[in-house]
Amino acid sequence: MRPVERPRRRIGLRPPPGAVSWLPSLASVASSRWRRSLQGRVVVSTLLVSSVVVALFASLLLDSIGRGLIEAKTRVSLAEARSGVVFLETSIDTTENVQADQQEARLQDLFSRLSGRGATGSAYLVLLVGPAERNAFASPGVATSDAPPELAARLVAGAGPAYAFDDVPVEGRRERGLVVGSLVSVPALGEYRLYHLFPLTSEHETQNLVRRTVALAGLLLVGLLGLITGLVARQVVAPVRMAARTAERLADGLLDERLPVRGEDEIARLGSTFNSMAEALQRQIRQLEDLSRVQQRFVADVSHELRTPLTTVRMAADVLFDGREDYPPSASRAAELLQAELDRFESMLADLLEISRHDAGAAALDPTPTDLGMLVRRVLAAAAPLAERRGSAVDLRLPAAPVVAEVEPLRIERVLRNLVVNAIEHGEGRPVEVELAATEDVVTVCVRDHGVGLQPGQADLVFTRFWRGDRSRARTTGGTGLGLAIALEDVRLHAGWLQAAGSAGKGSVFRMQLPRHPGVVLPQTPLALRS
């Protein structure tokens, strides 16, 4: 059972209830598609890079166009302001004895004409301010406060016009504009400040139009790049996908699958090489299958053929063994050795026949409800003489309640016997631990010794046929090297797991996991086993 984890309390804003359910699944789907789709990663990467490039280009373009529009407007405005100054200076009365009232009336008439010129097409507004803020003339909607104070301070006689950017009145509202100030010398009245107020409405509209056009063109360009990239990536990825599907079919045993080859490009050469590799693999696999069938048939035939002469030899050996007390000591010892070697030979034939049945797929399972606790006790009772000779104490740990599982008793007893005998053989006289545990669906048996252990990489080799970790070690019980291989096949026949682990000089542990009932599926990957 997995430990129950209490959810952590978090202080702060909580997402909406609906977001909790679909956000993780959406993120998981997106992450899975990102990892599994090469074409998707290429297209998304291209879109991101092209979007950044287009955004930078658009920013530079808009900045350049904006500066160009303002500079052009500034040049035109300065020229228009100079024209207004020239108009006033050339139209006013410059006689020496001109009266102030007459000059002011003349100036007002000239201002009206200048204001009318600016009103045409809403080109600009005009503000004329006399000395000490007296005698000010202004276009409709313009007040003397519309003149920027810092601009008035910059107006110097003979220096020409000056300009500043400020808000100007436009049809009852204020918008960003350009204010150009000039000094006009009026006889009998003194120095006047002439302000031209140019709205930048058209320039802003042009900038907005350019901005929208650039944005639309950028989106179309990025979309077109994504489409082109998708088509190009599809041409490259489609053969790779086909190769992956073909490789999966080959892995499933469909050895006749091949890639279609078209053209002479790199993809075509890859397909040809892949097909050549598949043909070579097919030939080698078929050769191995033929060799395996011949080997299996040979083992089965030899095993069956040897049983008849072995029976005859066994009968004769039994007669000799029963009468060994009447023989001389040397003959009596020979009869005992003959009996022991015949027992070992019969065990070898039984193992060979059993492994050949597994290879041929003829091994059948006949499960019955079995108390595994009683099965373990029976195995330990049979192995007690061997444990006593090797000096190993066996520590048995069983649950209080009976552990009943639907298994084939003979096969599981054979598995347990192999595990226990191996633990005693390699335990170096140290204790051997046998533990039985169970859940509702799974039963587990662990056999642990504290002897020679396993070298790195030997945990998988122990189930290989005829493999021994140390061939120089003498065995007291004989053996064919097929015990653990047969045990593994018996456990697999029960849809279970048999694992091994160990460390050199610290012992080894074997764990068998079986479903308690037919149809219970164990995890595809069992829990990690530690020695």
SS3 state of residue 183:
strand
pLDDT band at residue 379 using 50, 70 and 90 as cut-offs: very high
> Residues 387, 501: one domain?
yes
Tell me how many domains the chain contains: 3
Same domain? For 403 and 274 the reply is: no
Last residue of a domain, one of 325, 359, 393: 359
**What was the pLDDT predicted at 526?**
56
Domain membership flag for residue 386: yes
- Looking at residues 178-187, what average pLDDT do you find? 89
In the numeric block, which tokens belong to residue 113? 């004409």
Beta bridge partners of 198: 178
Q: Is the separation of the CB atoms in 86 and 196 below 8 Å?
A: no
Q: Are 349 and 369 in a shared domain?
A: no
Mean per-residue pLDDT of the chain: 81
Residue 506 falls within a domain, yes or no? yes
Range of the structural domain that residue 160 is part of: 27-251
Is 15 a domain residue? no
Residues 211, 118: one domain? yes
Residues 321, 389, single domain; the answer is no
DSSP string of 147-171, one letter each residue: S-HHHHHH--TTS--EEEEEEEEET
Same domain as 246, residue 129: yes
Query: Is 400 a member of any domain?
Result: yes
The secondary structure element, H or E, covering residue 16 is none
DSSP secondary structure of 337-381: HHHHHHHHHHHHHHHHHHHHHHHHT------EEEEHHHHHHHHHH
Q: pLDDT tens digit string along 245-285?
A: 888 887 777 778 787 887 777 777 877 888 888 888 878 87
Asked whether residue 8 is domain-assigned, the answer is no
Which amino acid appears at position 436 of this protein? L
Which residues fall within 8 angstroms of residue 459, CB to CB, at 6 or more apart? 499, 500, 501, 502
Answer yes or no: do 154 and 214 share one domain.
Answer: yes
Take residue 149 and report the two structure tokens written for it.
């104070």
SS3 at position 436: strand
**pLDDT tens-place string over residues 332-350:** 888 778 777 777 677 666 6
- For residues 373 and 456, state if they share a domain: yes
Whether residue 198 is predicted with pLDDT greater than 90 in this model: the reply is: yes
Same domain, 224 and 286: no
The predicted structure's pLDDT at residue 432 = 93
Whether residues 492 and 432 share a domain: the answer is yes
**β-bridge pairing 162-170 and 190-199:** unpaired
Query: Which pLDDT score, from 0 to 100, does residue 470 have?
Result: 57
CATH label of the domain that carries residue 218 = 3.30.450.160
How many C-beta neighbours within 10 Å does residue 373 have?
A: 18
The highest-confidence range among 26-35, 89-98, 202-211, by mean pLDDT, is 202-211
Distance CA 333, CA 338 (A): 9
> Does pTM top 0.85 for this prediction?
no
Question: Is residue 527 included in any domain, yes or no?
Answer: no
Interatomic CA distance for residues 114 and 83, integer angstroms = 10
**Which residues are CB-neighbours of 466 under 8 A, at least 6 positions away?**
480, 481, 482
Does 11 fall in a domain?
no
| Residue 421, domain CATH | 3.30.565.10
Is 72 among the domain residues? yes
Residues 335 and 197 in one domain: no
Tens-digit pLDDT profile for residues 228-248: 888 887 777 777 778 778 888
**CATH number, residue 293:** 1.10.287.130
Reading the block at residue 205, the tokens are 């509209």
The answer on 374 and 349 residing in a single domain is: no
Neighbours of 130 (CB within 10 A): 18
CB atoms within 10 A of CB 111: 21
**Each residue's pLDDT tens digit, 410-448:** 889 999 999 999 999 888 889 999 999 988 889 999 999
